[in-house]
Amino acid sequence: MCGIFGYTGPSNAQDILIEGLRRLEYRGYDSAGVVVHENGGTRCVKALGKIKNLSERVNEMPMEGTCGIAHTRWATHGVPSEANSHPHMDTDEKIFVVHNGIIENYQTLKKELQDRGIKFRSETDTEVIAHLLAQFYKGDLKAAVFRVIKVLRGAFAVAVIHKDEPGRIVAFRFGSPLVIGVSEKENLLSSDVSAMLVHTRSVIYLNDGELADIRPTGVQVFSPDSVEIKKAQQEIDWDISSAEKSGYEHYMLKEIFEQPTTIQNSIRGRIIEDTGNAKTRRPGKSEIRSAQS
């Protein structure tokens, strides 16, 4: 389990992103990272350990951008290290990705990308997403994301930005939680609604396979077959402390009722439900080529 958070709007993104991560720290705390659009480029900062370490590092040279994505990690693939911490990026450092979940077929995808000459910087499953996006990108991040979704197997909530598309975040999910926070002046995304309630109480819950194109002035949601859909906004009337308890009266009740989901999340992507066996790793046919065609 990890936490992802994103912001695009008129305000400086740095403190909003770090504060969002602090509220998500219960989801993972072995390393953290943040990237913002800044002065026509991007700036990415990562730190091993708790959010406090990231915050100290960022404060050495404060960020200026008003759009960014951030991550607090609980490693599933690759040891806790700065190299394995998110955001992950493509070779040209134009595309940045934060991810909560597991890419089940990452070894097949990684092998194919390596065969195309791509060098990996980390041991994570997540890094394949950044390189795949670079393979498919032709000037529109959303279009590239739709292609990448076709080749990914597993459970994921992902947010991505591109250096050449300032102010834009594309986010999508399948199996892992992701909620979009909307308001007139700024928009956000988070793994957990409670982390964004200080900014807005109007939220959109994405269903599996849906994608959100998030800009400072609005959010568009698309179905898995790229058709724009009008999603109902929900108004959250819990206070922050109830939201952190997902509406339950006590944390213990929350933990008891969340046990089925917690167990599902921890074994997702690792078992074959029909036989009850654990999955083995084996190479597959070219999935990138079929999505490119």
Q: Can residue 75 be called a binding residue for ligand GLU (CB under 6 A)?
A: yes
Whose CB is nearest to ligand GLU? 2
194: exposed, middle or buried (Cβ count in 10 Å: 0-12, 13-18, 19+): buried
Q: What is the dihedral of CA 194, 197, 203, 204, to 10 degrees?
A: -30
In the list 22, 23, 46, 73, the residue contacting ligand GLU (rule: CB under 6 A) is: 73
Q: How far is the CB of 272 from ligand GLU (least distance, A)?
A: 20
Q: What are phi and psi of 85, to 5 degrees?
A: -75, 155
Task: Report CA-CA distances (Å) from 289 to 116, 127, 135, 140.
Answer: 11, 18, 10, 19
Q: What is the dihedral of CA 66, 235, 233, 16, to 10 degrees?
A: 10
Q: How far is the CB of 111 from ligand GLU (least distance, A)?
A: 18
Q: Mark the segment that binds ligand GLU (CB under 6 A) among 69-77, 158-166, 252-260, 279-287.
A: 69-77
Q: Can residue 268 be called a binding residue for ligand GLU (CB under 6 A)?
A: no
Q: Mark the segment that binds ligand GLU (CB under 6 A) among 68-76, 203-211, 218-226, 238-246.
A: 68-76
Nearer to ligand GLU, 124 or 187 (CB): 124
Interface positions, 120-159, toward ligand GLU (CB under 6 A) = 124-126
Interface positions, 92-111, toward ligand GLU (CB under 6 A) = 99-102
Q: State the alpha helices, DSSP H only, in the chain.
A: 13-24, 51-60, 106-115, 127-136, 141-151, 240-244, 251-257, 259-267, 287-292
Q: How far is the CB of 156 from ligand GLU (least distance, A)?
A: 8
By the criterion CB under 6 A, which residues form the site for ligand GLU?
A: 1-2, 73-78, 99-102, 124-126
